[in-house]
A = this chain, B = another copy of it.
Amino acid sequence: MKRKPKSSQGEATKQTILQAAVQIVLSDGMDSLNTNGLARRAGVSVGTLYQYFNNKDEILLELLLASMERRMQKVKDAVTLSMAFKSSKEIIDRLIDALFEADSIESEKLEFLLFPWALANQPKAAMNLVHRNRESIHPLLKLLLVTKEPGLKSRDIDAVSFILLQAVRGTLVGRTMPEGKDLSEISLKKELKHLFFAMLSPPK
């Protein structure tokens, strides 16, 4: 580990670099992220990059980590805060609303673009990230499903929460791409909420 940005100045530089990286990946794809271009975009020299990161992979990994962390925290907050007192309906409303906020969508797209890379180049780290993801989000969903809708006990809660998550994530990412450009955000949110409820009802 090379990084020790104890000074606030150093930490700021590091964030500048990460921000520049996000912009490049989101607008041009991660194959366009090269160290020379990143340094230029961030307004620093290549050398400086290596003051804060040991190599390029570390930058991407930190990007992925921070993005996931941000999104997870947001979901966690939305669910846990309301868990105690609210009905399933209200909890789900908050959950979907949280996921549709601008930075959540940006995070989803970033993960969508970076995950194939992580899988191939940093499989260990990718595993870890995925684990953290499951360990923080799936339990929430499962908790929601179990505590609020006890009738689901006979179902495979893991499968249900997995599918719901994939549906939401796919929808969020798809919306940012050509294929989803002309879909109404209001409809999507409404239907996703409907989908959650629908899954809670017992199968015929």
Which has the most chain B C-beta neighbours within 10 Å: A32, A191, A199?
A: A191
Q: Determine the chain B residues whose CB is within 8 A of the CB of A188 once the complex forms.
A: 159, 162-163
Query: Does A201 have its Cβ within 8 Å of any Cβ on chain B?
Result: yes
Stretch of A13-21, A70-78, A166-174 on the interface side: A166-174
User: Does the CB pair B159–A191 fall under 8 Å?
Assistant: yes
Q: Complex: how many Å from CA A150 to CA B29?
A: 42
* Complex copy number for this chain: 4
Chain A 23-45 interface 0/1 with B at a Cβ cutoff of 8 Å (1 = within): 00000111110000000000000
In addition to A130-B179, A162-B174, 17 A-B residue pairs with Cβ atoms within 8 Å of each other are A28-B120, A29-B117, A31-B121, A113-B116, A127-B178, A156-B184, A158-B187, A160-B191, A162-B171, A163-B167, A163-B170, A163-B195, A167-B170, A169-B170, A194-B199, A194-B203, A197-B203
